[in-house]
């Protein structure tokens, strides 16, 4: 009797366990259906629900493998879609967090495709965020975002170019040059002539500003150094050669001044600006005791603020014919 009772008890417990097991699988299926309904209206809620279903499947075991495969295959896809939605709305912080979560879920559920996609997206998001911050005059925030972009993608040409502009805004000439040189290097490698030209122009313009500042302060060697450096980035700006001409004349390097003035005249097409070069040429030749060429140069100064000085040189100092 005791033996029979034990057998019946075991059968009852086995039946109850099977009934509970089936009920749990059904609950997982029901939870899956509810999560699916949320996809079009509450994507975060749908993802959370599917993650819960995946956990339920783990507890159920082998009988839930088919459902688990469907659920775990969908979770990284939906999370990636959520991240893209944030990106479209330009909610960059939310997008970054959502893409990082995508990588976590992809690793958890053995999705080998999503991490690569996320890795490609993140530098672009940090770059877009940095541009927005830069436009809003949040210079330090912009720099932090762009630095993150270039750390994630060390060959991100436009990010290095923007980094250079940010450093320019911060008056950090050394780091500006490092960033813009990198942008030029990468752009040249990629055949991106637009970004390369913009980066070169930004460097040349910045160096010319420094040269002009030094010239105004009568720091002629510094002016020469900055203007000469600018020629590594652009040889088409006549103002570069005018600064060099003025600085060389001021330091009695007349042959160099003449050479710079002639190169400037080849580039300068406006007569009202050409006269500045002719006046300086006159001073250079005067310094070399070449009266004939000095007179010829001063006579070409027919307009502008240097005209009275040129006439004085012609009539009084050189007594030109």
Instruction: Give the Cα-Cα-Cα angle 110, 113, 115 (nearest 5 degrees).
Output: 85
Please write the tens of the pLDDT for every residue from 99-122: 999 999 999 999 999 999 999 999
pLDDT (mean) for 191-215: 97
pLDDT (mean) for 219-240: 97
Residue 9 reports pLDDT greater than 70: no
pLDDT (mean) for 12-36: 66
Quick one: pLDDT at residue 119?
A: 96
Tell me the CA distances in angstroms from 162 to 17, 27, 201, one per residue in order. Answer: 65, 54, 13
Residue 15 reports pLDDT greater than 60: no
User: What global pTM score does this model have?
Assistant: 0.83
Residue 155 reports pLDDT greater than 50: yes
User: What are the residues whose beta carbons fall under 8 Å from the beta carbon of 80, sequence distance 6 or more?
Assistant: 99, 102, 114, 117, 118
- DSSP secondary-structure letter at 61? -
Residue 223 reports pLDDT greater than 50: yes
Closest CA to 206 of 171, 181, 235, 178: 171
Quick one: pLDDT at residue 2?
A: 36
pLDDT (mean) for 132-140: 97
Phi and psi based region of residue 137 (left: phi greater than 0; alpha: psi -120 to 50; beta: remaining): left
Residue 16 reports pLDDT greater than 50: no
pLDDT-based confidence at residue 24 (cuts at 50, 70, 90): confident
Please write the tens of the pLDDT for every residue from 279-313: 999 999 999 999 999 999 999 999 999 999 999 99
Residue 163 reports pLDDT greater than 50: yes
φ/ψ of 113, rounded to 5, equals -85, -40
- Rg of the chain over CA atoms, in angstroms? 37
Domains and CATH numbers, the chain: 27-133 (1.25.40), 235-321 (1.25.40.10)
> Which range among 18-32, 247-261, 292-306 shows the weakest confidence by mean pLDDT?
18-32
pLDDT (mean) for 164-178: 97
The secondary structure element, H or E, covering residue 308 is helix 307-312
User: What are the residues whose beta carbons fall under 8 Å from the beta carbon of 109, sequence distance 6 or more?
Assistant: 54, 72, 73, 75, 76
Residue 12 reports pLDDT greater than 60: no
> Which range among 10-19, 28-37, 160-169, 222-231 shows the weakest confidence by mean pLDDT?
10-19
> What number of residues does the chain have?
321
Residue 20 reports pLDDT greater than 70: no
Decide if 109 contacts 73 (C-beta within 8 A): yes
Quick one: pLDDT at residue 93?
A: 97
Residue 244 reports pLDDT greater than 90: yes
Q: Which residue has the higher pLDDT, 12 or 130?
A: 130
Decide if 79 contacts 63 (C-beta within 8 A): no
Quick one: pLDDT at residue 321?
A: 87
- DSSP secondary-structure letter at 183? H
* Mean pLDDT over each residue of the chain, to the nearest integer: 92
What does the alpha-carbon distance between residue 53 and residue 25 come to, in Å, rounded to a whole number? 10
């Amino acid at each position: 009797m005791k033996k029979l009772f034990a057998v019946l008890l075991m059968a009852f417990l086995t039946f109850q366990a099977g009934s509970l097991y089936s009920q749990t699988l059904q609950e997982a299926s029901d939870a899956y259906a509810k999560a699916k309904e949320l996809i079009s209206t509450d994507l975060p809620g749908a993802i959370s629900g599917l993650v819960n279903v995946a956990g339920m499947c783990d507890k159920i075991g082998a009988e839930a493998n088919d459902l688990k495969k469907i659920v775990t295959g969908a979770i990284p896809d939906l999370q990636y879609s959520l991240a893209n939605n944030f990106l479209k709305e330009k909610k960059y912080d939310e997008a970054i967090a959502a893409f990082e979560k995508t990588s976590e879920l992809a690793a958890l559920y053995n999705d080998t495709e999503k991490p690569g996609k996320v890795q490609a997206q993140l530098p672009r998001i940090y770059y877009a965020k940095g541009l927005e911050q830069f436009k809003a005059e949040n210079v330090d925030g912009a720099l932090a975002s762009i630095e993150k972009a270039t750390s994630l993608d060390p060959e991100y040409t436009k990010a290095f170019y923007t980094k250079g502009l940010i450093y320019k805004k911060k008056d950090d000439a050394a780091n500006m040059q490092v960033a813009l040189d990198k942008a030029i290097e990468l752009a040249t490698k990629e055949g991106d002539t637009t970004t390369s030209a913009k980066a070169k122009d930004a460097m040349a313009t910045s160096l010319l500003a420094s040269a002009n500042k030094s010239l105004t302060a009568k720091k002629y060697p510094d002016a020469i150094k900055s203007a000469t450096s600018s020629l590594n980035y652009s040889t088409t700006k006549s103002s570069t050669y005018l600064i060099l001409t003025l600085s060389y004349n001021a330091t009695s390097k007349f042959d160099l001044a003449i050479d710079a003035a002639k190169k400037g005249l080849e580039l300068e097409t406006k007569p009202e600006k050409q006269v500045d070069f002719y006046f300086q040429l006159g001073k250079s030749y005067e310094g070399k005791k070449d009266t004939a060429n000095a007179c010829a140069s001063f006579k070409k100064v027919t307009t502008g603020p240097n005209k009275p000085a040129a006439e004085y040189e012609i009539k009084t100092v050189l007594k030109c014919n």
